[in-house]
């Protein structure tokens, strides 16, 4: 009986969250904004990736960031150095952002700025390899990071994140020569879960793969702009 009740509660929560995500996406579409949801386990490199992304694209696109963290604004402060709006959301005990939290971020952004002036909103989700992928926030695409330090088996052990990803970054490639890691096996495991995902090996430290990532982001913004015309 408890299992049936818990399953029904989970379905209701996901349904309510999806309705909120759909409303968020409607706002983004109305304003002509592309929203990308960046997800990974803690320490995989989300924030440094966003630093590199903001540095490279902030003069090309009008960008805002919704920064999710459980308790601090440490990552938000790092990103504010790039002179873009950064809306910090502390989730407390929650291991992920949900559509209601992001709706609050959207409201704050719209209160302080003209949202139709923005091209791109980057959502940095809470570091967790499971929950963020289950709760849409209104994004147009999901990006997952997998650091080479995490091992080859993570796509098989935590399949939801990798199944839902539209773009998969194999991060910290500069460390690969120092590890007993088989990059072909990582990619094969990813493809087993998600055959069509875009995979980009990348090192934010050396710049390897960064141009491919920036081109992918730009293509999402450009495509959204064409669709919204």
Tokens found for residue 69: 């963290």
Cα atoms in the 13 Å half-sphere on the side-chain side of 27: 23
Q: Where are the domains of the chain?
A: 21-228
**Left, alpha or beta for 45 (phi > 0: left; psi -120 to 50: alpha)?**
left
Q: What predicted TM-score, i.e. pTM, was given to this entire model?
A: 0.92
186: left (phi over 0), alpha (psi -120 to 50) or beta: alpha
Summarize pLDDT for 27-40 with one digit per residue, the tens: 999 999 999 999 99
Digit-coded pLDDT (tens) for 87-120: 999 999 899 999 999 999 999 999 999 999 999 9
Tokens of 54: 């903001």
CA pair distance 124, 8, nearest whole angstrom: 29
CA atoms within 13 A on the CB side of 4: 1
Q: Model confidence over 144-179: pLDDT tens digits? A: 999 999 999 999 999 999 999 999 999 999 999 999
Measure the CA–CA gap between 65 and 144, rounded to whole angstroms: 17
Start-to-end CA span in the chain (Å): 51
Q: At how many degrees (to 10) do helices 99-112 and 2-31 cross?
A: 20
Residue 93: the pLDDT is: 86
Confidence at residue 225, expressed as pLDDT on a 0 to 100 scale: 65
Topology of domain 21-228, per CATH?
Rossmann fold (3.40.50)
């Amino acid at each position: 009986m408890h299992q049936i009740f818990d399953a029904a509660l989970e379905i209701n929560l996901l349904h309510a969250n999806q309705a909120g995500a759909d409303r968020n996406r409607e706002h983004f579409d109305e304003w002509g904004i592309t929203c990308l949801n960046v997800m990974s386990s803690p320490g995989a490199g989300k924030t440094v990736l966003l630093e590199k992304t903001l540095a490279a694209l902030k003069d090309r696109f009008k960008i805002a960031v919704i920064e999710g963290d459980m308790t601090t604004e440490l990552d938000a402060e790092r990103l504010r150095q790039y002179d873009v709006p950064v809306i910090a959301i502390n989730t407390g005990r929650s291991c992920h952002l949900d559509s209601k939290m992001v709706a609050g971020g959207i409201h704050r952004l719209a209160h302080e700025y003209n949202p139709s002036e923005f091209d791109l909103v980057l959502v940095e989700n809470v570091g967790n390899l499971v929950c963020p992928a289950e709760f849409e926030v209104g994004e147009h695409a999901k990006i997952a990071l997998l650091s080479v330090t995490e091992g080859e088996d993570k796509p098989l052990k935590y399949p939801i994140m990798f199944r839902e990803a539209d773009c998969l970054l194999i991060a910290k490639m500069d460390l690969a020569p120092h590890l007993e890691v088989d990059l072909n096996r990582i990619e094969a495991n990813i493809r087993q879960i998600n055959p069509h995902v875009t995979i980009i090996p990348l090192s934010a430290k050396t710049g390897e793969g960064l141009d491919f990532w920036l081109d992918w982001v730009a293509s999402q913004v450009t495509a959204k702009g064409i669709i919204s015309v």
